[in-house]
């Protein structure tokens, strides 16, 4: 991070590291804005699916919902790999592993909580 109080000119690279400024479209493209958009979209689709099942919070996902969640998590995983968001990606991998179990799969409520955690991790992982 560039300390503005130090002597010397600001360079383009030091300005790019400053997170308290507006981002131009060029900067967003440089930081894979499309992958970030796809990651957020996949995450929101999973969250929407879970929120539509609030009345089944203590149940495990139905086979159809399980299939849809796996697809959303797969898309999220692909985007996170491009973004280099390793910590959030570990959370996705963990959730995918838990969904593969035959016994003790997470409930709708638990999946919703994990998706919320992933969302917070994704936002915090961005420059």
Residue 10 lies inside a defined structural domain of this protein: no
Task: Say if residues 46 and 122 touch (Cβ distance below 8 Å).
Answer: no
∠ CA 111-107-114, rounded to 5°? 15
Of the candidates 122, 112, 103, the one whose C-alpha atom is nearest the C-alpha of residue 65 is 112
Residue 114 lies inside a defined structural domain of this protein: yes
pLDDT values of the chain reduced to their tens digit, one per residue, 127 residues: 334 444 445 455 544 444 555 556 555 556 677 888 899 999 999 999 999 998 988 999 999 999 999 999 999 999 999 888 888 899 999 999 999 887 888 999 999 999 999 988 877 655 5
pLDDT (0 to 100) of residue 20: 55
What predicted TM-score, i.e. pTM, was given to this entire model?
Answer: 0.71
Of the candidates 101, 98, 99, 73, the one whose C-alpha atom is nearest the C-alpha of residue 88 is 73
Say how many domains are in the chain: 1
Domain that holds residue 98: 30-125
- For the record, the structure tokens of 82 come out as 């491009």
pLDDT (0 to 100) of residue 86: 86
Residue 1 lies inside a defined structural domain of this protein: no
Residue 120 lies inside a defined structural domain of this protein: yes
Residue 5 lies inside a defined structural domain of this protein: no
- For the record, the structure tokens of 27 come out as 């900067």
Residue 97 lies inside a defined structural domain of this protein: yes
Residue 11 lies inside a defined structural domain of this protein: no
pLDDT (0 to 100) of residue 67: 94
């Amino acid at each position: 991070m560039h300390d503005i109080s130090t002597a010397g000119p600001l360079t383009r690279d030091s300005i790019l590291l400053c997170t308290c400024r507006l981002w131009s479209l060029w900067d967003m493209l440089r930081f894979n804005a499309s992958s970030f958009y796809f990651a957020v979209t996949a995450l929101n689709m999973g969250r929407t699916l879970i929120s539509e099942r609030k009345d089944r919070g203590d149940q495990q996902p139905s086979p159809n919902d399980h299939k849809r969640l796996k697809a959303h998590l797969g898309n999220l995983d692909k985007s996170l790999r491009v973004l280099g968001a390793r910590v959030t990606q570990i959370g996705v991998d963990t959730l995918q592993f838990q969904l593969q179990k035959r016994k003790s799969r997470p409930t709708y409520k638990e999946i919703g909580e994990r998706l919320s955690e992933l969302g917070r991790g994704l936002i915090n992982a961005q420059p």
